Amino acid sequence: MSKMTSAQRIMCVLQRKQPDRIPHFEWIIDKHVRDAICPGSTMEEFSVRMDLDAILTGPDFSKEAIAPGRYRNEWGMISENTGQEHSFPLGGPIQTFADLKHYQPPDPYAPGRYDSIERVVKRYKGDRAVGVHLNDVFSIPRNLMGMENLLMAFVAEPEVVKGLVEMSVEINIEMAKEVAKRGADFIFTGDDYAATERPMISPAMFREFLYEPLKRVMAGFHDAGLPIIKHTDGNILPILDMILDSEIDCLDPIDPVAGLDIGDFKQKYGDRIALKGNVDCAHTLTFKSEKDVVEETKSVIRKAAEGGGLILSSSNSIHSAVKPGNYLAMWNAIRMYGTYPLQLDNWADSGAGEAFA
Protein backbone atom coordinates (compact mmCIF):
# COMPACT_ATOMS: atom_id res chain seq x y z
CA MET A 1 0.00 0.00 0.00
CA SER A 2 1.25 3.48 -0.83
CA LYS A 3 2.02 5.87 2.03
CA MET A 4 -1.01 7.79 3.31
CA THR A 5 -1.16 11.24 4.80
CA SER A 6 -2.07 11.39 8.47
CA ALA A 7 -5.49 12.73 7.53
CA GLN A 8 -6.14 9.84 5.15
CA ARG A 9 -4.92 7.37 7.78
CA ILE A 10 -7.31 8.61 10.48
CA MET A 11 -10.31 8.83 8.17
CA CYS A 12 -9.59 5.33 6.86
CA VAL A 13 -9.61 3.94 10.41
CA LEU A 14 -12.84 5.77 11.28
CA GLN A 15 -14.42 3.84 8.39
CA ARG A 16 -13.12 0.63 10.04
CA LYS A 17 -10.73 0.04 7.16
CA GLN A 18 -7.04 -0.81 7.09
CA PRO A 19 -4.59 2.07 6.51
CA ASP A 20 -0.89 1.86 5.66
CA ARG A 21 0.02 1.90 9.35
CA ILE A 22 -1.68 2.23 12.72
CA PRO A 23 -2.27 5.92 13.48
CA HIS A 24 -1.50 7.53 16.82
CA PHE A 25 -2.43 10.68 18.69
CA GLU A 26 -3.39 11.60 22.26
CA TRP A 27 -6.12 13.83 23.68
CA ILE A 28 -3.60 15.37 26.09
CA ILE A 29 0.16 15.22 26.42
CA ASP A 30 1.03 17.06 29.60
CA LYS A 31 3.53 19.91 29.49
CA HIS A 32 5.93 18.04 31.80
CA VAL A 33 6.19 15.20 29.29
CA ARG A 34 6.29 17.50 26.26
CA ASP A 35 9.10 19.58 27.77
CA ALA A 36 11.19 16.50 28.47
CA ILE A 37 10.96 15.46 24.82
CA CYS A 38 10.50 18.72 22.86
CA PRO A 39 11.35 21.55 25.29
CA GLY A 40 9.02 24.53 25.21
CA SER A 41 6.56 23.01 22.74
CA THR A 42 2.84 23.61 22.75
CA MET A 43 0.55 20.64 22.16
CA GLU A 44 0.22 21.67 18.52
CA GLU A 45 3.98 22.04 18.04
CA PHE A 46 4.61 18.72 19.76
CA SER A 47 2.06 16.98 17.53
CA VAL A 48 3.83 18.28 14.43
CA ARG A 49 7.37 17.58 15.62
CA MET A 50 6.44 14.04 16.70
CA ASP A 51 4.45 13.45 13.50
CA LEU A 52 1.20 12.58 15.31
CA ASP A 53 -1.72 11.88 13.03
CA ALA A 54 -4.24 14.44 14.31
CA ILE A 55 -4.25 18.07 15.40
CA LEU A 56 -6.89 18.79 18.04
CA THR A 57 -8.68 22.05 18.65
CA GLY A 58 -12.06 23.40 19.74
CA PRO A 59 -14.35 26.41 19.80
CA ASP A 60 -12.97 29.48 21.55
CA PHE A 61 -14.62 30.46 24.84
CA SER A 62 -13.32 33.43 26.81
CA LYS A 63 -12.51 33.31 30.52
CA GLU A 64 -11.71 35.86 33.21
CA ALA A 65 -9.61 35.62 36.35
CA ILE A 66 -11.72 35.94 39.51
CA ALA A 67 -9.00 35.07 42.06
CA PRO A 68 -5.40 33.88 41.96
CA GLY A 69 -5.45 30.68 39.93
CA ARG A 70 -9.24 30.71 39.53
CA TYR A 71 -11.23 31.53 36.42
CA ARG A 72 -14.80 31.92 35.22
CA ASN A 73 -15.47 31.05 31.59
CA GLU A 74 -18.20 32.16 29.22
CA TRP A 75 -20.49 29.42 30.48
CA GLY A 76 -20.19 30.76 34.03
CA MET A 77 -18.22 27.68 35.09
CA ILE A 78 -15.54 28.30 37.72
CA SER A 79 -12.29 26.33 37.61
CA GLU A 80 -8.96 26.27 39.39
CA ASN A 81 -5.54 26.01 37.80
CA THR A 82 -3.79 22.90 39.15
CA GLY A 83 -0.59 23.11 37.13
CA GLN A 84 -1.84 20.26 34.94
CA GLU A 85 -3.18 20.52 31.40
CA HIS A 86 -6.76 20.44 32.69
CA SER A 87 -8.04 22.83 35.35
CA PHE A 88 -10.22 21.51 38.19
CA PRO A 89 -13.97 22.41 38.02
CA LEU A 90 -15.26 24.05 41.17
CA GLY A 91 -18.85 24.91 40.34
CA GLY A 92 -21.32 26.51 38.00
CA PRO A 93 -24.18 28.98 37.91
CA ILE A 94 -27.13 26.57 37.92
CA GLN A 95 -28.53 24.90 41.02
CA THR A 96 -32.30 25.10 40.51
CA PHE A 97 -34.87 25.16 37.73
CA ALA A 98 -35.24 28.91 38.33
CA ASP A 99 -31.52 29.33 37.64
CA LEU A 100 -31.92 27.37 34.41
CA LYS A 101 -34.84 29.51 33.22
CA HIS A 102 -32.75 32.66 33.59
CA TYR A 103 -29.54 31.20 32.22
CA GLN A 104 -28.15 32.37 28.89
CA PRO A 105 -25.58 30.00 27.37
CA PRO A 106 -22.78 31.21 25.09
CA ASP A 107 -23.80 32.12 21.56
CA PRO A 108 -22.60 29.41 19.14
CA TYR A 109 -22.46 32.05 16.39
CA ALA A 110 -20.47 34.68 18.32
CA PRO A 111 -17.69 36.41 16.35
CA GLY A 112 -14.36 34.71 16.95
CA ARG A 113 -15.94 31.50 18.22
CA TYR A 114 -14.13 29.41 15.61
CA ASP A 115 -10.90 31.37 15.11
CA SER A 116 -8.72 28.52 16.42
CA ILE A 117 -10.45 25.99 14.19
CA GLU A 118 -10.08 28.20 11.12
CA ARG A 119 -6.36 28.66 11.83
CA VAL A 120 -5.72 24.93 12.34
CA VAL A 121 -7.69 23.97 9.24
CA LYS A 122 -5.82 26.51 7.13
CA ARG A 123 -2.48 25.21 8.34
CA TYR A 124 -3.01 21.42 8.43
CA LYS A 125 -6.07 20.42 6.37
CA GLY A 126 -5.29 17.46 4.13
CA ASP A 127 -2.03 16.72 5.91
CA ARG A 128 -3.17 15.90 9.45
CA ALA A 129 -6.69 15.07 10.56
CA VAL A 130 -8.31 18.04 12.31
CA GLY A 131 -10.29 16.93 15.35
CA VAL A 132 -12.65 19.31 17.18
CA HIS A 133 -13.68 18.83 20.78
CA LEU A 134 -17.40 19.24 21.38
CA ASN A 135 -19.65 17.76 24.07
CA ASP A 136 -22.62 15.44 24.02
CA VAL A 137 -24.96 15.02 27.02
CA PHE A 138 -23.10 14.90 30.33
CA SER A 139 -20.14 17.28 30.72
CA ILE A 140 -21.99 20.56 30.26
CA PRO A 141 -24.74 19.67 32.77
CA ARG A 142 -22.06 18.43 35.19
CA ASN A 143 -19.98 21.58 34.86
CA LEU A 144 -22.95 23.93 35.13
CA MET A 145 -24.27 22.25 38.30
CA GLY A 146 -21.26 20.49 39.78
CA MET A 147 -21.10 16.71 39.86
CA GLU A 148 -22.66 16.16 43.28
CA ASN A 149 -25.56 18.53 42.65
CA LEU A 150 -26.18 17.04 39.21
CA LEU A 151 -26.32 13.49 40.54
CA MET A 152 -28.81 14.55 43.23
CA ALA A 153 -30.87 16.43 40.65
CA PHE A 154 -31.49 13.23 38.66
CA VAL A 155 -33.81 12.31 41.56
CA ALA A 156 -34.72 15.63 43.19
CA GLU A 157 -35.04 17.97 40.18
CA PRO A 158 -35.28 15.89 37.01
CA GLU A 159 -36.59 18.82 34.95
CA VAL A 160 -33.33 20.69 35.56
CA VAL A 161 -31.36 17.72 34.26
CA LYS A 162 -33.58 17.36 31.20
CA GLY A 163 -33.31 21.06 30.45
CA LEU A 164 -29.53 21.09 30.75
CA VAL A 165 -29.17 17.98 28.58
CA GLU A 166 -31.42 19.45 25.91
CA MET A 167 -29.44 22.70 25.93
CA SER A 168 -26.20 20.75 25.52
CA VAL A 169 -27.62 18.79 22.58
CA GLU A 170 -28.91 21.87 20.77
CA ILE A 171 -25.78 23.99 21.20
CA ASN A 172 -23.38 21.23 20.24
CA ILE A 173 -25.34 20.35 17.10
CA GLU A 174 -25.20 23.99 16.04
CA MET A 175 -21.47 24.17 16.74
CA ALA A 176 -20.95 20.96 14.74
CA LYS A 177 -22.56 22.60 11.73
CA GLU A 178 -20.22 25.56 12.08
CA VAL A 179 -17.03 23.51 12.47
CA ALA A 180 -18.04 21.33 9.51
CA LYS A 181 -18.37 24.46 7.34
CA ARG A 182 -14.85 25.39 8.37
CA GLY A 183 -13.31 22.08 7.34
CA ALA A 184 -13.01 19.96 10.49
CA ASP A 185 -12.45 16.25 9.86
CA PHE A 186 -13.95 14.66 12.97
CA ILE A 187 -15.51 15.43 16.34
CA PHE A 188 -14.41 13.98 19.63
CA THR A 189 -16.50 14.18 22.78
CA GLY A 190 -15.03 13.65 26.20
CA ASP A 191 -18.15 13.34 28.35
CA ASP A 192 -17.18 10.57 30.80
CA TYR A 193 -20.08 8.42 32.00
CA ALA A 194 -18.33 5.92 34.27
CA ALA A 195 -15.92 5.41 37.12
CA THR A 196 -13.65 2.40 37.41
CA GLU A 197 -16.26 0.08 38.90
CA ARG A 198 -19.52 1.24 37.35
CA PRO A 199 -21.31 4.06 35.49
CA MET A 200 -21.89 7.28 37.41
CA ILE A 201 -25.63 6.87 37.07
CA SER A 202 -27.66 3.70 36.80
CA PRO A 203 -28.44 2.18 33.41
CA ALA A 204 -32.12 2.91 34.04
CA MET A 205 -31.44 6.60 34.61
CA PHE A 206 -29.07 6.73 31.66
CA ARG A 207 -31.85 5.35 29.47
CA GLU A 208 -34.42 7.76 30.89
CA PHE A 209 -32.36 10.96 30.78
CA LEU A 210 -29.46 10.53 28.36
CA TYR A 211 -30.11 7.77 25.82
CA GLU A 212 -32.42 9.55 23.37
CA PRO A 213 -30.53 12.89 23.64
CA LEU A 214 -27.26 11.02 23.02
CA LYS A 215 -28.65 9.47 19.85
CA ARG A 216 -29.94 12.88 18.74
CA VAL A 217 -26.67 14.76 19.24
CA MET A 218 -24.66 12.05 17.49
CA ALA A 219 -27.12 12.09 14.60
CA GLY A 220 -26.67 15.87 14.43
CA PHE A 221 -22.90 15.45 14.19
CA HIS A 222 -23.32 12.90 11.41
CA ASP A 223 -25.82 15.12 9.60
CA ALA A 224 -23.05 17.74 9.54
CA GLY A 225 -20.84 15.17 7.81
CA LEU A 226 -18.51 14.56 10.76
CA PRO A 227 -17.49 11.16 12.15
CA ILE A 228 -17.30 10.86 15.93
CA ILE A 229 -14.75 9.51 18.37
CA LYS A 230 -16.49 9.01 21.70
CA HIS A 231 -14.32 9.05 24.83
CA THR A 232 -15.53 7.63 28.10
CA ASP A 233 -13.29 5.64 30.37
CA GLY A 234 -14.34 3.50 33.31
CA ASN A 235 -16.60 0.46 33.33
CA ILE A 236 -19.13 1.31 30.63
CA LEU A 237 -20.38 -2.26 30.12
CA PRO A 238 -23.78 -1.71 31.81
CA ILE A 239 -24.55 1.14 29.38
CA LEU A 240 -22.51 0.01 26.38
CA ASP A 241 -25.54 -1.00 24.32
CA MET A 242 -26.90 2.55 24.54
CA ILE A 243 -23.55 4.11 23.65
CA LEU A 244 -23.24 1.87 20.59
CA ASP A 245 -26.85 2.55 19.59
CA SER A 246 -25.95 6.24 19.28
CA GLU A 247 -23.92 5.18 16.21
CA ILE A 248 -20.55 6.58 17.19
CA ASP A 249 -17.74 5.80 14.77
CA CYS A 250 -14.99 5.07 17.29
CA LEU A 251 -14.86 4.30 21.02
CA ASP A 252 -12.01 5.36 23.32
CA PRO A 253 -10.24 4.07 25.42
CA ILE A 254 -11.60 0.60 26.38
CA ASP A 255 -10.29 1.21 29.91
CA PRO A 256 -8.01 -1.65 31.06
CA VAL A 257 -8.09 -0.41 34.68
CA ALA A 258 -11.86 -0.99 34.62
CA GLY A 259 -11.29 -4.55 33.42
CA LEU A 260 -12.20 -3.95 29.78
CA ASP A 261 -10.28 -5.87 27.12
CA ILE A 262 -9.69 -4.28 23.74
CA GLY A 263 -9.42 -7.69 22.08
CA ASP A 264 -12.85 -8.61 23.36
CA PHE A 265 -14.26 -5.34 22.01
CA LYS A 266 -12.58 -5.91 18.66
CA GLN A 267 -14.07 -9.37 18.38
CA LYS A 268 -17.58 -8.37 19.46
CA TYR A 269 -17.96 -4.86 18.04
CA GLY A 270 -15.22 -4.39 15.44
CA ASP A 271 -17.78 -4.59 12.65
CA ARG A 272 -19.67 -1.62 14.18
CA ILE A 273 -17.03 0.73 15.53
CA ALA A 274 -13.36 1.58 15.31
CA LEU A 275 -11.37 1.51 18.54
CA LYS A 276 -8.91 3.93 20.14
CA GLY A 277 -6.60 2.89 22.97
CA ASN A 278 -5.34 1.45 25.16
CA VAL A 279 -1.85 1.16 26.66
CA ASP A 280 -2.38 1.53 30.40
CA CYS A 281 -1.47 5.08 31.45
CA ALA A 282 -2.31 4.51 35.12
CA HIS A 283 0.28 1.77 35.64
CA THR A 284 2.35 0.73 32.63
CA LEU A 285 3.22 4.15 31.20
CA THR A 286 3.65 5.63 34.67
CA PHE A 287 5.52 3.03 36.68
CA LYS A 288 6.79 0.19 34.51
CA SER A 289 9.83 -0.16 32.26
CA GLU A 290 10.18 0.79 28.61
CA LYS A 291 10.35 -2.91 27.76
CA ASP A 292 7.01 -3.44 29.53
CA VAL A 293 5.53 -0.56 27.52
CA VAL A 294 6.70 -2.12 24.26
CA GLU A 295 5.22 -5.49 25.18
CA GLU A 296 1.87 -3.94 26.10
CA THR A 297 1.84 -1.89 22.90
CA LYS A 298 2.48 -5.06 20.91
CA SER A 299 -0.32 -6.79 22.85
CA VAL A 300 -2.79 -4.07 21.85
CA ILE A 301 -1.70 -4.48 18.22
CA ARG A 302 -2.15 -8.26 18.39
CA LYS A 303 -5.59 -7.95 19.94
CA ALA A 304 -7.13 -5.12 17.95
CA ALA A 305 -5.16 -4.04 14.88
CA GLU A 306 -5.81 -6.82 12.38
CA GLY A 307 -7.84 -5.51 9.44
CA GLY A 308 -7.57 -1.90 10.58
CA GLY A 309 -10.03 0.10 12.65
CA LEU A 310 -7.52 0.92 15.41
CA ILE A 311 -5.98 4.19 16.61
CA LEU A 312 -3.31 3.18 19.11
CA SER A 313 -2.85 5.48 22.10
CA SER A 314 -2.77 5.50 25.87
CA SER A 315 -5.75 4.37 27.93
CA ASN A 316 -6.72 7.98 28.63
CA SER A 317 -3.98 10.59 28.19
CA ILE A 318 -0.29 11.25 28.67
CA HIS A 319 -0.62 12.88 32.08
CA SER A 320 2.15 14.52 34.08
CA ALA A 321 3.21 11.32 35.88
CA VAL A 322 3.87 9.37 32.67
CA LYS A 323 7.58 8.72 32.20
CA PRO A 324 8.72 10.57 29.05
CA GLY A 325 10.84 7.57 28.06
CA ASN A 326 7.81 5.32 28.35
CA TYR A 327 5.78 7.56 26.06
CA LEU A 328 8.63 7.48 23.56
CA ALA A 329 8.84 3.69 23.85
CA MET A 330 5.15 3.42 22.97
CA TRP A 331 5.53 5.95 20.13
CA ASN A 332 8.48 4.05 18.72
CA ALA A 333 6.80 0.65 19.07
CA ILE A 334 3.76 1.85 17.15
CA ARG A 335 6.00 2.80 14.25
CA MET A 336 8.15 -0.31 14.50
CA TYR A 337 5.33 -2.85 14.74
CA GLY A 338 2.31 -0.98 13.38
CA THR A 339 2.86 -1.08 9.62
CA TYR A 340 0.42 -3.18 7.58
CA PRO A 341 0.63 -6.04 6.83
CA LEU A 342 1.44 -6.64 10.49
CA GLN A 343 4.64 -8.57 11.18
CA LEU A 344 4.97 -8.38 14.94
CA ASP A 345 7.33 -11.30 15.32
CA ASN A 346 9.75 -10.38 12.55
CA TRP A 347 11.46 -7.64 14.54
CA ALA A 348 14.01 -8.16 17.27
CA ASP A 349 12.44 -7.21 20.57
CA SER A 350 15.59 -5.51 21.79
CA GLY A 351 15.84 -1.88 20.88
CA ALA A 352 12.24 -0.64 20.83
CA GLY A 353 12.06 -0.47 24.59
CA GLU A 354 15.69 0.45 25.23
CA ALA A 355 16.23 3.24 22.72
CA PHE A 356 15.31 5.93 25.23
CA ALA A 357 16.76 4.49 28.43
Task: Give me the CATH number covering residue 301.
Answer: 3.20.20.210
Residue 105 lies in a domain: yes
**pTM of this structure:** 0.95
Length of the chain (residues): 357
What local confidence, expressed as pLDDT, does residue 85 receive?
A: 80
Q: Residue 350 pLDDT > 70, yes or no?
A: no
Q: Residue 332 pLDDT > 50, yes or no?
A: yes
What percent of the chain has a predicted confidence (pLDDT) above 90?
A: 92
Residue 213 lies in a domain: yes
Q: Mean per-residue pLDDT for 3-13?
A: 98
Q: Residue 48 pLDDT > 80, yes or no?
A: yes
Over residues 30-39, the pLDDT tens digits come to 999 999 999 9
What local confidence, expressed as pLDDT, does residue 357 receive?
A: 38
Write out the residue range of the structural domain in which residue 44 sits: 6-58+92-346
What local confidence, expressed as pLDDT, does residue 162 receive?
A: 97
Over residues 174-221, the pLDDT tens digits come to 999 999 999 999 999 999 999 999 999 999 999 999 999 999 999 999
What local confidence, expressed as pLDDT, does residue 347 receive?
A: 53
Calpha distance 295→301 (Å, rounded): 10
Residue 83 lies in a domain: no
What percent of the chain has a predicted confidence (pLDDT) above 70?
A: 97
Q: Mean per-residue pLDDT for 122-132?
A: 98
Calpha distance 129→11 (Å, rounded): 8
Residue 63 lies in a domain: no
Q: Residue 65 pLDDT > 80, yes or no?
A: yes
Q: Mean per-residue pLDDT for 29-57?
A: 98
Number of domains in the chain: 1
Residue 81 lies in a domain: no
Residue 15 lies in a domain: yes
Query: Does residue 79 or residue 355 have the better pLDDT?
Result: 79
Calpha distance 289→292 (Å, rounded): 5
Residue 67 lies in a domain: no
Over residues 246-305, the pLDDT tens digits come to 999 999 999 999 999 999 999 999 999 999 999 999 999 999 999 999 999 999 999 999
Over residues 149-170, the pLDDT tens digits come to 999 999 999 999 999 999 999 9
Residue 137 lies in a domain: yes
State the average pLDDT for the chain: 95
What local confidence, expressed as pLDDT, does residue 346 receive?
A: 61
What local confidence, expressed as pLDDT, does residue 131 receive?
A: 98
Q: Residue 352 pLDDT > 80, yes or no?
A: no
